[in-house]
């Protein structure tokens, strides 16, 4: 019965995804649908192993079908549970396939944001979104960062298009999807106040979180439910040391969790946003990235600070993708001859590295260094450069970025293998998982 009552939520999200898709140009729609279809194939083929957070989220979804109070769980949060609970009634594969909905929303909204921000070939932003290892991995999994990223992308697009009500709704959904969501919603509401002074959209951004807290307090009979039932209590806290700036986890996650060429493009986009008046419209993108930077730099995550994973930047993946697309525009405009071959070479090396990580036991050992994959991809990059009259540089870059996504074995970038993640992002041995309260359904469910 609970699944039946909740079915309108994923169906409504699917309608939103279709509406966004219909607004895209054919090439843009093809990129979004191709990426979503590839992620759905991974979701369908992934093994159902009881490991890691994605599996625990699924168990919580199933428990919430028996006791709807679980929809308010402070580890999963309703922005995730309301979207996934009904599909989870059909099994883990159906829950994973449901990720195609927020994936499509995130990619299509990112394209619309790119168009509104005046970026060339907006489909490039969707390409750079899918090519982020953990975003692609979560597109076939059950993790809370993905619906947050979809809501954030929709908010960015709506703000850029001056659609205040849509922006308010998206920000309100952010607020009830992740622990950091209320902060993003508050900052987004401030942006709404600057561009649209109507109280309605601002209320839509700010009210969902206090309503969620009030409902949870009433159902659990505890006015301090938010504090007393918080699974992260004592596990997450501030670490206010300036030395943290020298080894910020945000920077580490970006470098480890994305192809090298995407990182370079994001740096170029950041420079363009800060230094170029012509690209000043990109500066609002720096707000969610600055929040993520501060949180991942100055928060202790886990009792020994060992819960840090590259997937934590999935929440702001659309903003990173837009910054990367702007960086590509800037690089091609500033260095029309030198940038294309250089970018293709770096993309080829990154594709070889990513595939070798899956196909070789140790990509840092001599066996990897002698791997023919590097030569094969560099030759492919050279061929694409020589054929630039037939294959535009953006299309060539797309082929090289898509190769490791299509060529990797099924699974959310090997997160089904204990203690491993995307290239370069292996968790430390014995790394702690979420608090015990978060790993099982609370007593009484």
Written as tens digits, the pLDDT of the chain (445 aa) is: 889 999 999 999 999 999 999 999 999 999 999 999 988 888 887 776 666 788 899 999 999 999 999 999 999 999 999 999 999 999 999 999 999 999 999 999 999 999 999 999 999 999 999 999 889 989 988 999 999 999 999 999 999 999 999 999 999 999 999 999 999 999 999 999 998 889 999 999 999 999 999 999 999 999 999 988 888 888 888 888 787 788 888 999 999 889 999 999 999 999 999 998 888 899 999 999 999 999 999 988 888 777 788 889 999 999 999 999 999 999 999 999 999 999 999 999 999 888 877 665 554 555 555 567 778 898 999 999 999 989 999 999 999 999 988 876 545 444 434 444 444 433 333 333 333 333 333 333 3
Strand partners, 301: 236
Count other Cβ atoms within 10 Å, centred on residue 272: 21
Which of 406, 385, 338 has the alpha carbon at shortest distance from 130?
406
Q: Rounded to an integer, what distance in angstroms lies between the CA atom of residue 366 and that of residue 185?
A: 48
pLDDT (0 to 100) of residue 362: 52
CA distance 69 to 422: 34
Which structure tokens are listed for 130?
């899918």
The CA–CA distances, whole Å, from 217 to 27, 214, 226, 233, 384 equal 48, 5, 7, 17, 59
> What number of helices (H) and strands (E) belong to the chain?
23, 2
| 420 CB burial (10 A radius; 0-12, 13-18, 19+) | middle
Instruction: Tell me what pLDDT residue 371 has.
Output: 66
Contact by Cβ (8 Å): 235, 302: yes
Please give the pLDDT value at position 369: 58
pTM summary value: 0.90
Nearest partner of 110 among 188, 22, 10, 32, judged by Cα: 32
């Amino acid at each position: 019965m609970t699944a039946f009552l909740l079915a309108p939520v994923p169906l409504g999200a699917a309608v939103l995804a279709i509406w966004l898709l219909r607004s895209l140009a054919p090439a843009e729609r093809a990129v979004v649908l191709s990426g979503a279809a590839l992620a759905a194939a991974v979701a369908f083929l992934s093994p159902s192993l009881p490991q890691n957070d994605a599996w625990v989220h699924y168990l919580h979804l199933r428990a919430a079908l028996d006791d709807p109070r679980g929809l308010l769980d402070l580890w999963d949060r309703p922005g995730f549970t309301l979207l996934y609970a009904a599909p989870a009634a059909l099994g883990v594969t159906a829950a994973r396939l449901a990720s195609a909905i927020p994936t499509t929303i995130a990619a299509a909204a990112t394209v619309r944001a790119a168009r509104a921000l005046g970026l060339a070939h907006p489909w490039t932003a969707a390409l750079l979104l899918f090519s982020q290892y953990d975003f692609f991995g979560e597109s076939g999994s059950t993790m809370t960062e993905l619906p947050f990223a979809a809501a954030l992308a929709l908010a960015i697009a709506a703000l850029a298009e001056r659609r205040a009500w849509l922006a308010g709704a998206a920000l309100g959904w952010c607020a009830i999807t992740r622990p950091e969501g209320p902060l993003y919603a508050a900052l987004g509401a401030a942006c709404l106040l600057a561009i649209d002074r109507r109280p309605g959209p601002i209320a839509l951004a700010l009210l969902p979180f206090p309503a969620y807290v009030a409902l949870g307090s009433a159902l659990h009979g505890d006015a301090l439910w938010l504090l007393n039932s918080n699974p992260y209590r004592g596990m997450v806290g501030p670490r206010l040391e300036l030395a943290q700036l020298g080894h910020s986890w945000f920077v580490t996650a970006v470098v480890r969790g994305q192809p090298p060429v995407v990182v370079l493009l994001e740096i170029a986009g950041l420079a363009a946003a800060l230094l170029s008046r012509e690209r000043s419209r990109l500066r609002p993108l720096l707000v969610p990235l600055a929040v993520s930077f501060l949180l991942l730099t100055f928060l202790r995550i886990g009792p020994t600070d060992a819960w840090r994973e590259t997937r934590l930047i999935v929440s702001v993946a659309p903003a990173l993708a837009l910054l990367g697309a702007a960086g590509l525009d800037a690089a091609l405009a500033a260095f029309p001859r030198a940038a294309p071959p250089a970018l293709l070479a770096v993309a080829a090396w990154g594709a070889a590295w990513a595939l070798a990580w899956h196909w070789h036991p140790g990509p840092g050992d001599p066996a990897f260094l002698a791997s023919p994959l590097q030569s094969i991809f560099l030759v492919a990059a050279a061929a694409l450069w020589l054929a630039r009259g037939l294959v535009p540089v953006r299309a060539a870059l797309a082929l090289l970025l898509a190769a490791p996504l299509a060529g990797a074995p099924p699974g959310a970038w090997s997160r089904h293998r204990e203690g491993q993640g995307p290239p370069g992002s292996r968790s430390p041995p014995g790394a702690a998982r979420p608090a015990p309260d978060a790993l099982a359904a609370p007593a009484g469910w």
